[in-house]
C-alpha cells in the first residue's frame, strides 16, 4: 500500500512538472511575442532608430549645442555578394584597402558574426550618403542609417558643455542598457544630464526569407517602437558673458566664475586654457594632442582644482571673530610690515601701509597683521577650554561657508577642497603641542586651507546676500526637466546676517576709496558700487596666484564673481581687472571709455605660452 502511494505521488509530481513545461512552452511560442521578435532571431531583423539627442540652450534661449544629421553605413556580411571594391571605395570616399581589410575580418569571424548587422563606416556626410544611396542597389548587404551628431553654433563653454563619445567596453560593462556604437556624454553638462539628453532608441522589425533577405515589416509594424528624442536642457549660463569671460582669460591659466547671488545660478564658468567648441565637434581627432598639453585644457579648474584662497579668506576670519565677540569693528591692531608670532622674531610679512587699522580699513588694505590678531583671538577665546576646542569651533564655522566639502552643484567632478582638522594637527605636532603660532598661516588663507574657484565665487555670493547662499548650479528647470529642490533652499552660514555689513563696507572701500590705500582701486567703475577683496596666494610651484572676489552693486547685488589666475602675482594685477571687467560687461553691456585701455591690456596679454 505504501509503495503504491509513493508511485502515485511520483506520477502526480511528474505530471505537474510536465504541465509547467507545456505551459511555459505555450507561453513562449504562442503568447509572448518578444521571443519571436528578439534581435537574435535569425528569421527577424531589427533596424535601430537613434533618437536625436536633446539640445542645450543658454539662459536667454540662445542655442549652445545642437544637432546635425550624418550617416553611418551598415553591413550585414552574410548578405554581401561579390562587389567591385574600387567602385565602392570611390562611392564611400574611402580606400579599397580599407574595404578589403573589413571584408577579410568579416569572413574570418563569420560564425561569430552570423546575421548581425555591423557598422561599416561612421559619420559620413550628406553628399557621400546621397552618392551611396544612388548606387546602393549594386551592393547587397550594405545600407545607410541616419544619426545625429553634435554641433556648436556659439563659441561658449567648451569645458562647461563637455563632449560625447562612443561607448567603450568598460562603459558597457557598467551600463547594460547601452550597446556598442552608442554615444554618451563623457564630460561636463553632457555627462551630468546624460539621462535627460540621450532619449530612447526605437526600432523597426522586419522578416527575413530563407536567404536572409529583408522582407515586409513583421506583423505590419505591430511591435515597432518609435524613438523618443532627448529632452532639451536650459542652462543658467549667459552665453555672451561666457564668451567674453573666455576672451578675458585667453593666455592665462586659471578660472573665472560668476554667480547670480539671488538664485545661485552660474552665469559664467571659465576654465583656462580650455577646449574650444570647434574641437568638441570632432573631439576624437584632437584628444591625444589635448591630453598631452602641459597646460591641461581638458582639466576644469573651476571645480576640480584646489588652491589656497589667500587673503580673500580674511573675510571669513573677520566674520567669525565678530560672531564670537572677540572682534569689534572699532578695534585697532598694529602692523609694521607684518606680524611677529614667535619669541625668536619670526614674522608673517605684510606690505607697508599706515598703522594701526580698524576692521574696515584692514579689509580695504588687506592687512596681514590685523587678521593674525583676529585669528589669535578666535583660538584663544576664553569660552573654550583649549586651543583644540576653539579650533574645532572655528572649523565648523568655516564649513558653513561652503568650504571643506563639495557644495553639491549639479556639475560633475566637483572637489571638496580642504579645511584641516584638529586631528590632523594632533597627528602632525602631537596633541597639546600646537597653538596659534603653529598654524598662523590660516589667518590669511594659506597653510593647509584649499578651496576651489567655485567655492570662492560662492563666498562672493554669500557676502552679496549678507550671510546665505543658494547651491551654485548650471541647469534651470524647464519643460520636462526638473532640478533638485535643494537648489531653491537658502543655505545659511553660522554667522549672523547683521555682522556682514561691518565687513562689506571695507570691501566697498577696497575698490572705490581712491587714494586711501585700497588694494582694488584698479577695479573702480563709477556708479557700479562694486565691493571686492583682493588676494595674493602663495604658490610653491612659482609666482604667486592672483585672486579677487567681488559683487555688484552693493545694494541688491546682481552678480558675484571670483577670478583666480595662476602665477600672476598680486590680486590687483590681473584677477581684479578681469573680474571687474566681467561685472561691468554684465551690468552695462559695454566697457566704459575710461577702462578701454585696461580691457585692451587684459585681452592682449598672455601670461602662459
Same domain assignment for residues 188 and 218: yes
Write down the pLDDT at residue 248. Answer: 97
Query: Is the pLDDT at 78 greater than 50, yes or no?
Result: yes
Predicted confidence (pLDDT) per residue in 437-461, tens digit: 999 999 999 999 999 999 999 999 9
Query: Which backbone phi and psi does 256 adopt, to 5 degrees?
Result: -140, 115
In a domain, 31, yes or no: no
Q: What is the distance between the alpha carbons of residues 184 and 530, in angstroms, rounded to a whole number?
A: 42
Residues written for the chain? 609
Same domain assignment for residues 62 and 194: yes
Please calculate the CA angle 341-368-514 and round it to the nearest 5 degrees: 155
pLDDT tier at 382 (50, 70, 90 boundaries)?
A: very high
Please calculate the CA angle 295-271-186 and round it to the nearest 5 degrees: 90
Same domain assignment for residues 432 and 566: yes
What would the DSSP string read from start to end of 202-216? EEEEEEE-TT--EEE
Q: Is the peptide bond before 423 cis (omega within 30 degrees of 0)?
A: no
Write down the pLDDT at residue 283. Answer: 66
Write down the pLDDT at residue 35. Answer: 47
Same domain assignment for residues 133 and 111: yes
Query: Is the pLDDT at 288 greater than 90, yes or no?
Result: no
Three cell numbers, residue 20: 509547467
Predicted confidence (pLDDT) per residue in 264-287, tens digit: 999 999 999 988 877 776 666 677
Write down the pLDDT at residue 212. Answer: 55
Write down the pLDDT at residue 22. Answer: 67
Write down the pLDDT at residue 39. Answer: 44
User: Who has greater pLDDT, 117 or 390?
Assistant: 390
Q: What is the mean pLDDT of residues 74-78?
A: 90
In a domain, 367, yes or no: yes
Q: What is the distance between the alpha carbons of residues 141 and 146, in angstroms, rounded to a whole number?
A: 17
State how far the alpha carbon of 527 is from the alpha carbons of 41, 131, 587, 592, in Å. Answer: 74, 62, 11, 11
**Across 55-64, 138-147, 421-430, least confident range:** 138-147
Closest CA to 349 of 374, 318, 376, 372: 372
pLDDT tier at 7 (50, 70, 90 boundaries)?
A: low
User: Who has greater pLDDT, 223 or 329?
Assistant: 329
Write down the pLDDT at residue 366. Answer: 95
In a domain, 16, yes or no: no
Closest CA to 317 of 509, 449, 434, 471: 449
Same domain assignment for residues 191 and 312: no
In a domain, 585, yes or no: yes
Provide, for the chain, the percentages of residues in helix, strand and coil under a 3-state DSSP scheme, each rounded to the nearest 5.
Answer: 40, 20, 40
- For 368, residues 6+ apart whose C-beta sits below 8 A from its C-beta are 311, 335, 338, 339, 348, 349, 350, 443, 444
In sequence order, what E strands does 197-253 have? 202-208, 214-217, 233-235
Element (H, E) at 68: strand 63-75
State how far the alpha carbon of 18 is from the alpha carbons of 27, 29, 35, 491, in Å. Answer: 14, 16, 21, 65
Query: Is the pLDDT at 554 greater than 60, yes or no?
Result: yes
- The residues with which 347 forms a beta bridge, in sequence order, are 340
In a domain, 34, yes or no: no
- Say how many C-beta atoms besides its own lie within 10 A of residue 507's C-beta: 28
Write down the pLDDT at residue 27. Answer: 54
Q: What is the mean pLDDT of residues 311-319?
A: 97
Closest CA to 405 of 422, 419, 424: 419
Query: Is the pLDDT at 307 greater than 80, yes or no?
Result: yes
pLDDT tier at 4 (50, 70, 90 boundaries)?
A: low
User: Who has greater pLDDT, 537 or 204?
Assistant: 537
Q: What is the mean pLDDT of residues 124-141?
A: 90
Write down the pLDDT at residue 18. Answer: 73
Q: Which of 235, 267, 291 is the last residue of a domain?
A: 235
Provide the 3-class DSSP secondary structure of residue 336. Answer: coil
Same domain assignment for residues 172 and 252: no
Predicted confidence (pLDDT) per residue in 397-412, tens digit: 999 999 999 999 998 8
pLDDT tier at 551 (50, 70, 90 boundaries)?
A: very high
Same domain assignment for residues 403 and 496: yes
CATH number at residue 434: 3.40.710.10
Q: What is the mean pLDDT of residues 131-149?
A: 88
Residue 547 near residue 535, CB atoms below 8 Å: yes
Same domain assignment for residues 224 and 90: yes
Same domain assignment for residues 537 and 549: yes
Query: Is the pLDDT at 208 greater than 70, yes or no?
Result: no
Query: Is the pLDDT at 2 greater than 70, yes or no?
Result: no
In a domain, 15, yes or no: no
- Say how many C-beta atoms besides its own lie within 10 A of residue 13's C-beta: 10
User: Who has greater pLDDT, 79 or 549?
Assistant: 549
What would the DSSP string read from start to end of 160-185? HH--EEEPPHHHHHH-TT--TT-EEE
Please calculate the CA angle 539-542-543 and round it to the nearest 5 degrees: 80
Same domain assignment for residues 90 and 66: yes
CATH number at residue 155: 3.90.1310.10
Chain mean pLDDT for the chain: 89
Write down the pLDDT at residue 511. Answer: 97
State how far the alpha carbon of 116 is from the alpha carbons of 46, 74, 175, 180, 209, in Å. Answer: 10, 10, 21, 13, 15
Same domain assignment for residues 249 and 109: no
Same domain assignment for residues 228 and 322: no
Q: What is the mean pLDDT of residues 322-334?
A: 96
Residue 519 near residue 365, CB atoms below 8 Å: yes
Closest CA to 552 of 570, 568, 576: 576
> How many domains are contained in the chain?
2
Q: How far is CA 274 from the centre of its chain?
A: 13
What would the DSSP string read from start to end of 424-486? HHHHHH-TT---GGGGGGGGGT-TT-BB-HHHHHHHHHHHHHTSEEPPPBSEE-BTTB---GG
Predicted confidence (pLDDT) per residue in 593-609, tens digit: 999 999 999 999 999 87
Q: Is the dihedral of CA 31, 33, 34, 39 positive or negative?
A: positive
In a domain, 104, yes or no: yes
| Domain of residue 62, residue span | 44-235
In a domain, 2, yes or no: no
Amino acid at each position: 500500500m505504501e509503495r503504491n502511494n509513493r508511485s502515485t505521488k511520483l506520477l502526480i509530481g511528474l505530471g505537474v512538472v510536465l504541465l509547467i513545461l507545456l505551459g511555459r512552452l505555450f507561453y513562449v511560442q504562442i503568447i509572448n511575442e518578444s521571443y519571436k521578435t528578439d534581435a537574435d532571431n535569425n528569421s527577424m531583423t531589427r533596424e535601430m532608430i537613434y533618437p536625436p539627442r536633446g539640445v542645450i540652450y543658454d539662459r536667454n534661449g540662445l542655442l549652445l549645442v545642437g544637432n546635425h544629421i550624418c550617416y553611418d553605413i551598415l553591413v550585414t556580411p552574410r548578405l554581401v555578394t561579390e562587389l567591385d571594391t574600387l567602385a565602392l571605395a570611390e562611392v564611400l570616399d574611402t580606400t579599397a584597402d580599407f574595404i578589403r581589410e573589413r571584408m577579410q575580418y568579416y569572413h574570418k569571424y563569420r560564425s561569430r558574426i552570423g546575421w548581425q548587422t555591423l557598422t561599416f563606416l561612421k559619420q559620413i556626410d550628406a553628399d557621400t550618403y546621397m552618392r551611396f544611396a544612388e548606387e546602393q542597389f549594386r551592393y547587397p548587404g550594405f545600407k545607410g542609417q541616419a544619426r545625429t551628431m553634435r554641433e556648436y553654433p556659439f563659441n561658449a563653454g567648451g569645458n562647461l558643455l563637455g563632449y560625447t563619445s562612443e561607448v567603450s567596453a568598460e562603459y558597457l560593462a557598467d551600463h547594460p542598457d547601452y550597446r556598442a556604437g552608442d554615444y554618451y556624454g563623457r564630460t561636463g553638462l553632457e555627462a551630468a544630464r546624460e539621462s535627460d539628453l540621450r532619449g530612447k532608441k526605437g526600432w523597426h522589425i522586419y522578416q527575413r526569407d530563407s536567404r536572409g533577405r529583408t522582407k515586409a515589416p513583421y506583423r505590419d509594424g505591430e511591435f515597432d517602437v518609435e524613438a523618443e528624442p532627448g529632452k532639451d536642457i536650459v542652462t543658467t549660463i549667459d552665453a555672451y558673458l561666457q564668451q567674453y569671460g573666455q576672451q578675458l582669460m585667453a593666455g592665462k591659466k586659471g578660472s573665472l566664475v560668476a554667480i547670480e547671488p539671488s538664485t545661485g545660478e552660474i552665469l559664467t564658468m571659465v576654465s583656462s586654457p580650455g577646449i574650444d567648441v570647434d574641437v568638441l565637434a570632432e573631439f576624437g581627432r584632437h584628444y591625444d594632442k589635448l591630453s598631452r598639453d602641459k597646460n591641461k585644457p581638458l582639466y576644469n579648474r573651476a571645480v576640480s582644482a584646489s588652491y589656497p584662497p589667500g587673503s580673500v579668506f580674511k573675510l571669513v576670519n573677520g566674520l567669525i571673530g565678530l560672531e564670537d565677540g572677540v572682534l569689534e569693528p572699532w578695534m585697532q591692531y598694529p602692523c609694521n610690515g607684518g606680524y611677529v608670532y614667535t619669541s625668536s622674531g619670526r614674522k608673517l610679512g605684510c606690505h607697508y601701509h599706515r598703522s594701526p587699522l580698524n576692521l574696515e580699513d584692514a579689509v580695504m588694505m588687506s592687512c596681514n597683521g590685523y587678521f593674525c590678531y583676529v585669528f589669535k583671538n578666535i583660538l584663544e577665546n576664553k569660552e573654550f577650554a583649549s586651543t583644540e576646542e576653539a579650533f574645532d569651533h572655528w572649523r565648523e564655522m568655516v564649513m558653513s561657508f561652503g568650504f571643506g566639502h563639495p557644495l553639491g552643484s549639479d556639475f560633475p567632478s566637483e572637489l571638496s577642497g580642504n579645511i584641516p582638522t584638529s586631528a590632523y594637527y594632533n597627528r602632525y605636532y602631537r596633541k597639546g603641542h600646537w597653538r596659534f603660532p603653529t598654524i598662523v598661516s590660516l589667518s590669511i588663507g594659506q597653510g593647509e586651507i584649499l578651496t576651489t574657484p567655485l567655492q570662492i565665487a560662492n563666498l562672493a555670493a554669500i557676502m552679496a546676500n549678507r550671510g546665505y547662499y543658494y547651491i551654485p548650479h548650471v541647469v534651470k528647470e524647464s519643460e520636462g526637466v526638473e532640478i533638485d529642490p535643494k537648489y531653491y533652499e537658502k543655505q545659511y552660514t553660522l554667522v549672523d546676517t547683521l555682522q556682514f555689513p561691518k565687513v562689506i563696507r571695507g570691501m566697498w572701500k577696497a575698490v572705490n576709496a581712491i587714494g586711501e590705500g585700497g588694494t582694488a582701486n584698479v577695479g573702480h567703475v563709477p556708479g557700479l558700487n562694486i565691493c571686492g577683496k583682493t588676494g595674493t596666494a602663495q604658490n610653491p610651484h612659482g609666482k604667486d596666484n592672483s585672486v579677487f572676489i567681488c559683487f555688484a552693486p552693493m545694494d541688491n547685488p546682481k552678480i558675484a564673481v571670483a577670478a583666480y589666475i595662476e602665477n600672476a602675482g598680486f590680486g590687483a594685477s590681473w584677477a581684479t581687472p578681469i573680474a571687474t571687467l566681467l561685472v561691468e560687461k554684465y551690468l552695462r553691456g559695454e566697457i566704459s571709455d575710461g577702462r578701454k585701455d585696461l580691457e585692451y591690456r587684459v585681452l592682449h596679454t598672455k601670461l602662459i605660452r
